[in-house]
Structure 1
Amino acid sequence: MKLSYAFVAAACASFVSAHGVVQQFTANGKDYAGPGPLEEDGPAMPESPIRRVGILGPVTDVTSTEMACGTGNPGPVNGIAQVDAGSEVKFKMSPWVHRIGPLTTYMGKCPDTPDKCDPNSLKWFKVDAKALKEDGKTWYHGDLADGKPGVATIPAGLEEGYYLLRYEILALHKAVDLGMAEFFISCTQIQVTNGGTSTPSDSQLVSFPGAYTAEDPGIHVDVYTNFNSYSYPGPELFDGTNGGSGSGGGEAPIPPPPPPIPTTTEPAPTSTEPAPVPTSTEPAPVPEPTSTEPAPVPVPTSTEAPVPEPTSTDPAPVPTPTAAPPTCKRKVKGAKRAVKREEEVKAKAKREEMVRVSNMMHRRRRFQAQSQH
C-alpha cells in the first residue's frame, strides 16, 4: 500500500496548478460567482461575498493565521449573501483533483457587518462535516473532483445575524507524513435570516489557529493502510439547539430499553416446561445409529482414495511443489525491485514537493512584498 501512496504523492505533486478555489457559492437559490486568487490577474469581483485567497496552494501549518480564511489572509469584500437558517448552501470548486479527506463547514458570528469582520478574532463552530460515504470506502471529497458542488446545511433555529461561513477542504493523500495534510479554506460573508435564538455552547467554540494540532488523528493519518473509519478534528458538531450536542459524524445515542418488569411473572411456567426432559432423552439415542452409519462410510472413502491413482498419475507434474522454490525466489526478487522502485518514486515525490513548496514560498513572498507596497 505504501507503493500506492508514493504514486499518488508523485502524481499530486505535478498537479499543484490544478488546486482550485470556490468558483461559485449558492444560497437561497441564488448563485454568487467567486474571484480567482490574487496571484492570478483575473477580475477582483469586490461585490462577491466570497473573500479572495492569495494563491492556489494549500495551508499546511495548522498554527498559521491562514487557517482562518485561507492563503494570504483574505480581506473583506463588499458582497453579503442572504442565507435562511435550516437551508442548504453549495460550494462549486474550480477544476479539482483530490478525492481523499473530509469537507467541513464552520461559522463565526460577526460583531458587526461581515465587511468589518476579522476571522482571526472570531469564535468558530462546526455546522457540517462529511467524510466517508455509506460504503465506507469513497469520500464526499470525490464529488468535487467529479464537478459536483460540496453541500452543507445551516442549522435550523440558528440565531439571525451576520456570519463568516468557513468552508474547509482537507486533502489527506499525503497525511501519512506529519505536517503534510493540505487545507484549502474559503470564507464567504453571509447574513442568516428566518432563524431563531439558538447559539452554540462554549465547548463548541474554537479559534483558528488553535482548533487543530498537526498530530490530531484526523490530520496525521494513513488513509491507505488498515483504514476503515475517520476521526474528525476540532469540536463537536453544533446541531442547531442551545448547547446542542453531536459528533462530527452526527451519530445519535441509542435509548435504553424499558425495564423488564412483567418478565418476573413468566419465569415460573417457563421453568416448568423444561420438565418434559424425555424430549432431551429422545435425541440422545437417535444420533447413535446416525453416528454409527457415517463411521463405515469414511472407510470406503479412504479406500477409494487409492482408486484415483490414475488421477494421481495425471498430477505427475507434482514436481510443481519443487518448482515453488524458484517461484518464491522470483517473487522475493520482484518484491525487492518493487521496494526499490517505491523508494525511488518516493524520493522523486519528495524532491518535487520541495520544489513545489519552494515555488509556493517564493510566490507568497512576492505577493506579500507587493501587498506591502
Structure 2
Amino acid sequence: MKLSATLTALAVAACQIAQVLAHGGVLSYDIDGTTYDGFKAYNTPVGQSSIQREWDTYNPITDPSDANLACNINGASLGAGQLSATIPAGSKVTAQWNDWPHTIGPVMVYMANCNGACTNANPSSLSWFKIDEAGLLSGNLVDGTWGQGKLVADGSTWVSTIPASLAPGEYMLRHELLSIHTSNQPQFYPECAQLKITGSGTAQPSGNFLVKFPGAYKASDPGVTIDIYSEPDQTTYTIPGPAVWQG
C-alpha cells in the first residue's frame, strides 16, 4: 500500500515537472535596476508578496474567450501582499520568463489604466492598450524567426519601454506569449503586474487602441487559430489585437 502511494505521488510530481518544463510564465521583472520577484505559481498566495497578480498554473489558456485571459488563472490581487512598482514613464521593463521552450509565435505587451488603485481592480473590466509586440520577424511560418525565438535567444527575457508621454497613475502591465506551434490550437500565456507611473506626461490611448480581455481576440482571427504547417512557405503573419500605442 505504501509503495502504491509513493508511486502515485511520484507520478503526480513527474506530471507537474513535465508541465513546468513544457510551459511557464513570467518569473520576475527588472525595472530601472531593481528586480521584483513574480508570484510563485503552484503555491498558496498566503504569505506571498509581489507586484505580480496571482497565476496558478504554467499551463496555457487555449480559448480566446476564456474569462481568465486578462491575467491568467485566477489573476487575483494578493491583498496585503500585493505590491506595485513605482517607475517614471519612459522606463524599460525586462520580463524574465522561465526557461521558455517555444520559439514559434508572437510576444505582446499591454497596459491598462486602473483609474484608481490597481489592487482593487478587476483585470477583465479594464481597457487594455498594446505598447509592444513582435511577430514573425523574418523567414517563413515554420522555419522563420519569431518574437518568441528572439525571447529565447535573449535568455528568455523581453524588454519593453513604457511610453514616455503616458499620464501618471496606477496601471496594470500585461505580458503575453501566444504559442502557435500546435496546429489550430492557440496557447495563450498571460501574466500581469502592477505599476505606479510617475512623470509629467498627459497622453492616454483611446478608441480602437483599447480592448477588453476577453474580447480582444476571436478564434477566427487569422493569427489565433492557425495551422502554420499547412502553409509553411508563407512569410507574413497577422498579430492579433489592436495596433501598438506609441504615446
Q: TM-score, normalised by structure 2?
A: 0.83
Aligned to 1:75: 77
Aligned to 1:52: 54
SS in structure 2 of the partner of residue 129 of structure 1: strand
Aligned to 1:226: 233
What is the CA-CA distance between 1:154 and the residue it aligns to? Answer: 1.1
Aligned to 1:237: 244
Q: 1:96 aligns with which of 79, 91, 100?
A: 100
> Matches of 2:127 and 2:40 in 1, distance apart?
27
Question: 5+ residue gaps in structure 2?
Answer: 1-16
What is the CA-CA distance between 1:182 and the residue it aligns to? Answer: 0.2
Q: 2:123 aligns with which of 113, 119, 124?
A: 119
Q: 1:74 to 1:56 in 2, by over 3 A?
A: farther
Q: 1:228 to 1:43 in 2, by over 3 A?
A: same
> Matches of 1:133 and 1:22 in 2, distance apart?
22
Matched, 1:141 2:143: no
Q: Which amino acid aligns with 2:51?
A: P
> Matches of 1:222 and 1:206 in 2, distance apart?
25
**Where has structure 1 moved over 4 Å in runs of 4 or more?**
42-45
Q: Spell out, residue by residue over 1:281-303, the C-alpha distance to the aligned partner (whole angstroms, 9 max, x if none).
A: xxxxxxxxxxxxxxxxxxxxxxx
Aligned to 2:207: 202
SS in structure 2 of the partner of residue 32 of structure 1: strand
The structure carrying a bigger helix percent of its residues is 1
SS in structure 2 of the partner of residue 165 of structure 1: strand
Identity %: 36
Q: 1:45 to 1:138 in 2, by over 3 A?
A: farther
What are the equivalent positions in structure 2 for 1:59-70 lying under 5 Å apart?
59-70=61-72
CA RMSD between the two structures: 2.0
Q: 1:121 to 1:43 in 2, by over 3 A?
A: closer
Matched, 1:157 2:165: yes
SS in structure 2 of the partner of residue 67 of structure 1: coil
> Matches of 1:44 and 1:103 in 2, distance apart?
31
> Matches of 2:67 and 2:82 in 1, distance apart?
22
SS in structure 2 of the partner of residue 126 of structure 1: strand
> Matches of 1:195 and 1:236 in 2, distance apart?
24
Is residue 218–residue 230 contact of structure 1 (8 Å, CA) maintained in 2?
yes
Is residue 51–residue 75 contact of structure 1 (8 Å, CA) maintained in 2?
yes
Q: 1:35 to 1:44 in 2, by over 3 A?
A: farther
For this pair of structures, how many residues does the alignment match? 222
Aligned to 2:178: 170
Q: 1:36 to 1:226 in 2, by over 3 A?
A: same
> Matches of 1:235 and 1:118 in 2, distance apart?
21
What is the CA-CA distance between 1:45 and the residue it aligns to? Answer: 6.0
Structure label with greater radius of gyration: 1
Aligned to 1:358: none
Q: Which amino acid aligns with 2:131?
A: V
Q: Which amino acid aligns with 1:127?
A: I
Aligned to 1:182: 187
Query: Which structure is richer in relative contact order (CA contacts within 8 A, separation 6 or more)?
Result: 2
What are the equivalent positions in structure 2 for 1:273-288 lying under 5 Å apart?
none
> Matches of 1:45 and 1:153 in 2, distance apart?
31
Q: 1:42 to 1:123 in 2, by over 3 A?
A: closer
Aligned to 2:19: 16
Aligned to 1:351: none
Between 1:196-205 and 1:180-189, the stretch displaced more is 196-205
> Matches of 1:120 and 1:220 in 2, distance apart?
22
SS in structure 1 of the partner of residue 145 of structure 2: coil
Is residue 53–residue 82 contact of structure 2 (8 Å, CA) maintained in 1?
no
Q: Which amino acid aligns with 2:199?
A: N
Is residue 138–residue 146 contact of structure 2 (8 Å, CA) maintained in 1?
no
Q: 1:45 to 1:143 in 2, by over 3 A?
A: farther
Aligned to 1:5: none
